[in-house]
Amino acid sequence: MGVVIKELIIQGKINGNSTPTEEDLIKIIREEIKNNSKNTQLTQKNKNDLIEECKNSVLDALESKLRY
């Protein structure tokens, strides 16, 4: 699911041409978690960890692309 979330965020950034805030990223990730019934067993800590991991991965990828 992490890959799906990363792709959604990247697509949103490309299509929207804007820099999302941390709150925007968290909102997108939470909506994806909510819409995915398999993840109802995740604890709040697991959800927070997933959000942080995805956010950091996406921001790192975007920063590296901006450097080129």
Rounded to an integer, the average pLDDT of 16-26 is 66
- Whole-structure pTM value: 0.41
Rounded to an integer, the average pLDDT of 31-42 is 69
Q: What was the pLDDT predicted at 39?
A: 47
- Comparing CA positions, the residue from 32, 11, 52 lying closest to residue 40 is 32
- d(CA 7, CA 1) in angstroms, rounded, equals 10
| Number of domains observed in the structure of the chain | 1
Q: What was the pLDDT predicted at 15?
A: 59
Domain of residue 12 covers: 2-67
* Residue 13 pLDDT class (50, 70, 90 cuts): low
Is the pLDDT confidence value at 35 over 80?
no
